[in-house]
């Protein structure tokens, strides 16, 4: 039986350049003859579609006259987890099993970082505990201010989580959770996203090269570093 291909995840704040870096990484791997599939969360699947409507504030429930409320935080966290399970079983695993490298633009680290702002982290971890761990997660680290500026340049509408205070809290949440996951042995590399796109890309590809060349157990020192702060 063919060995399962590698599964890579790219994560970061909105506006951190995750999507750009994921696309560049896919092209880079394509050119080197790898079969690669790029995918993302929230997905285009049925649960993902519902989440997107919610995030764009187009899904409202009229609680009382003139009082509208979107989905509550618990329901949203459950939907993200459901979307992920559907993504994993119907998209990610079949591709990995047929030897195709998968790059996912966001995965469970997003749920841990974003949903834990309002909900218990333990519960969110539990809900996502049956999701396969990636071979490597790359976190594109940019300050919240930069992320906010980039979002404003790219879009005329602002989604949930795109307020500066919230972005700052999400950023802190990511770094705290990454530290915890590293201690649990998860493979995560933090990449400084506040530098030219090409420089970020070369740091991304260096990390991927190492991950692709390793066959045995990787040491945490080789694949991870934490910022000084």
CB of 13 to ligand TYD, least distance (A): 8
Q: Which is nearer to ligand TYD, 53 or 55 (CB)?
A: 55
CB 158 within 8 A of CB 28: no
> Rule CB under 6 A: is residue 17 a binding residue for ligand TYD?
no
CB of 56 to ligand TYD, least distance (A): 8
Closest CA to 200 of 8, 18, 14: 18
> Rule CB under 6 A: is residue 34 a binding residue for ligand TYD?
no
> Rule CB under 6 A: is residue 161 a binding residue for ligand TYD?
yes
**Of the residues 16, 21, 110, 116, which one makes contact with ligand TYD according to CB under 6 A:** 110
- How many CB atoms are closer than 10 A to CB 167? 23
Binding mask of the shown chain, residues 173 to 202, with x at each position contacting ligand TYD by CB under 6 A? ------------------------------
> Rule CB under 6 A: is residue 134 a binding residue for ligand TYD?
no
The sign of the torsion formed by the CA atoms of 52, 131, 182, 78 equals: positive
> Rule CB under 6 A: is residue 48 a binding residue for ligand TYD?
no
CA distance 36 to 78: 29
CA distance 158 to 33: 39
27 in the Ramachandran plot: left (φ > 0), alpha (ψ -120 to 50) or beta?
A: alpha
Burial class (CB in 10 A: 0-12, 13-18, 19+), 7: buried
CB of 224 to ligand TYD, least distance (A): 22
Query: Which residue's Cβ lies closest to ligand TYD?
Result: 114
> Rule CB under 6 A: is residue 42 a binding residue for ligand TYD?
yes
Residues forming contacts to ligand TYD in the complex (CB under 6 A) are 14, 19, 41-42, 55, 80, 106, 110-111, 114-115, 159, 161
């Amino acid at each position: 039986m063919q060995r399962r291909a590698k599964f890579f995840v790219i994560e970061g704040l909105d506006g951190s350049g995750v999507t750009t870096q994921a696309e560049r990484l896919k092209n880079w791997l394509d050119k080197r003859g790898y079969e690669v599939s790029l995918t993302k969360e929230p997905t285009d699947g049925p649960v993902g579609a519902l989440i997107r409507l919610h995030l764009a504030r187009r899904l409202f429930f009229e609680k009382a006259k003139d009082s509208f409320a979107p989905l509550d935080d618990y329901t949203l966290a459950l939907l993200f987890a459901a979307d992920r399970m559907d993504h994993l079983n119907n998209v990610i695993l079949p591709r990995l099993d047929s030897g195709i490298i998968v790059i996912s633009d966001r995965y469970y680290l997003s749920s841990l970082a974003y949903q834990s702002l309002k909900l218990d982290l333990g519960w969110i971890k539990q809900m996502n505990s049956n999701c396969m761990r990636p071979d490597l997660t790359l976190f594109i680290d940019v300050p919240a201010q930069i992320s906010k500026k980039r979002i404003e340049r790219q879009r005329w509408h602002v989604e949930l989580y795109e307020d500066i205070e919230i972005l700052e809290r999400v950023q802190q949440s990511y770094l705290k959770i990454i530290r915890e996951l590293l201690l649990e042995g998860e493979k995560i590399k933090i990449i400084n996203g506040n530098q030219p796109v090409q420089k970020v890309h070369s740091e991304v590809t260096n990390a991927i090269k190492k991950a692709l060349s390793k066959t045995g157990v990787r040491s945490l020192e080789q694949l991870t570093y934490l910022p000084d702060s």
